[in-house]
Amino acid sequence: MESEPTADLIRAQLRRLRLHAELSQEEFGKLVHFSGSQISAIELGQRPFDRLFLRRADEVLTTGGLLTSLLRLAERYSQPNWFRPWLEAERQAQQLWCYHPTLVPGLLQTENYARAVIRADDMLSDDEVERRLAVRLDRQSVLSRQQPPKLIAVVEEAVLRRADESFRGLMVQQIAHLLECVDQPNVSIHVIPAEVSTHVGLAGPFTLALGNDSGWVGYLENQLDGTTIDKDGELTILIARWESVRSEALPHNQSALLMKEVMTSWS
């Protein structure tokens, strides 16, 4: 999960904090369940570190989460160029409108659901799956910041019901998470019932973000990459399509009842 040159900065900070705490590599290693030689290898860049190690190091060295924050920064700037403009728009948004025809939107996915979705790409290594998962979960922190955006998400009933026997436990957990999310004043989730057979949103997922400057930005994703939309004409079309998709969905209370009914049907 490392990204240069931030990885070098993390190693340097780890060493500085360890020495400030007056801990030898052996003493520090025992506290984080590593050997002294393993700590030496990490500090010298001869052994990789991961999120779990940095989390333990933050706790032992009482850093206030400095090392894991640096890792999140490294992961953020290791994203492809086409994704970075959207990440910035998402972080600065006052409002977020999300729709996906086949999945729960990423900002509302549980860790287990997100991992299963990412792992469905069998071309990814386990390390890459976990790296992408960490980035996705980190993005969700926008919803719990001091002044979070208002998130409105539209999901398909078919998405909630798509689960074989081995996937049902994961989906029960996911729907329970959605119900917890709607208890937050800044989150609304609306379900398009299965009897709505066709609508304009089925052409593909999209998200809209309203920034602090009262300007909208859109995002479209496909199998290979994604596109940030900032042209007025294209945004006008996306906003009109959002209104159309939103109009097909059930109101807040009816959506919550439907989600509960899906969970009950599996218990």
For 82-107+137-265, which CATH class? alpha beta
pLDDT band with cut points at 50, 70 and 90 for residue 207: very high
pLDDT band with cut points at 50, 70 and 90 for residue 1: very low
Partners of 154 in the beta sheet? 99, 190
Stretch 26-42: mean pLDDT, rounded? 93
Asked, colleague to colleague, whether 5-77 and 82-107+137-265 share their fold, the answer is no
pLDDT of res. 5? 64
CA distances from 75 to 57, 71, 79, 142, 233 (A): 18, 6, 7, 16, 33
Contact 79, 26 (CB under 8 A): no
Cα angle 210, 214, 218 (rounded to 5 degrees) comes to 35
**CA 173: distance to chain centroid?**
16
Query: In the predicted model, is pLDDT for residue 22 greater than 50?
Result: yes
**CA 121: distance to chain centroid?**
17
Q: Is 139 exposed, middle or buried (0-12, 13-18, 19+ CB in 10 A)?
A: middle
pLDDT of res. 103? 95
| Closest by Cα among 56, 78, 83 to 131 | 78
Q: What CATH superfamily classification does 5-77 receive?
A: lambda repressor-like DNA-binding domains (1.10.260.40)
Enumerate the domain spans of the chain: 5-77, 82-107+137-265
Average pLDDT, the chain: 90
Sheet containing 226-229: give its strands across: 187-192, 150-156, 95-99, 206-210, 216-221, 226-229
Query: In the predicted model, is pLDDT for residue 105 greater than 80?
Result: yes
pLDDT of res. 78? 65
What span, in angstroms and rounded, lies between the C-alpha atoms of 149 and 105? 15
Stretch 97-108: mean pLDDT, rounded? 96
What span, in angstroms and rounded, lies between the C-alpha atoms of 198 and 222? 20
Contact 245, 234 (CB under 8 A): no
Query: In the predicted model, is pLDDT for residue 199 greater than 90?
Result: yes
Exposure string over 158-188, b if 16+ CB within 10 A, otherwise e:
ebbeebeeeeeeebbebbebbeebbeeeebb
Pairing of strands 206-210, 187-192: unpaired
Give, rounded to a whole angstrom, the gap between the first and last alpha carbons of the chain: 38
CA distances from 253 to 162, 171, 189, 258 (A): 22, 20, 10, 9
Contact 74, 3 (CB under 8 A): yes
